[in-house]
């Protein structure tokens, strides 16, 4: 069941309905606000819609890089397991002395 959660971004309060835990939604909003604040600290004046677009693109890029890194880590782990399995099969098939 979805429930409303109130978040504040750029000084405006929004009520969003979500199936996620309220703490997760609040943490996501806090992350977005932190990124907004980072961009604002550069001293560049940016319109709100452009600012939110920059934050969304930055977060999406980070997510994609993290996902790619995890995929590479998993591929390496699978390769290692495959090599270990090959060694185990070789030992199982080796004649006893």
User: According to the model, what pLDDT value does residue 11 have?
Assistant: 94
3-state DSSP of the chain:
CCEEEEEEECCEEEEEEECCCHHHHHHHHHHHHHHHHHHHCCCCCCCHHHHHHHHHHHHHHHHHHHHHHHHHHHHHHHHHHHHHHHHHHHHHHCCCC
Quick: pLDDT tens for 19-63: 999 999 999 999 999 999 999 999 888 899 999 999 999 999 999
Supply the pTM of this predicted model: 0.68
User: According to the model, what pLDDT value does residue 96 have?
Assistant: 77
Range of the domain at 14: 3-93
Residue 43 or 86, more confident = 43
CA distances from 32 to 8, 40, 86, 97 (A): 10, 12, 47, 65
**Structurally, how many domains does the chain consist of?**
1
Q: Are 24 and 31 in contact, with CB atoms under 8 Å apart? A: no
User: According to the model, what pLDDT value does residue 4 have?
Assistant: 94
User: According to the model, what pLDDT value does residue 94 have?
Assistant: 78
User: What average pLDDT does this structure show over 76-88?
Assistant: 82
């Amino acid at each position: 069941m979805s429930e409303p959660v109130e978040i504040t971004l750029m000084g405006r309060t929004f009520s969003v309905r979500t199936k996620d835990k309220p703490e997760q939604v609040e943490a996501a909003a806090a992350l977005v606000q932190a990124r907004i604040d980072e961009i604002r600290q550069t001293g560049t004046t940016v319109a709100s819609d452009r600012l939110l677009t920059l934050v969304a693109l930055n977060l999406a890029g980070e997510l994609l890089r993290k996902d790619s890194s995890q995929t590479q880590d998993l591929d390496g782990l699978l390769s290692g397991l495959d090599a270990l399995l090959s060694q185990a099969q070789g030992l199982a098939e080796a004649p006893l002395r």
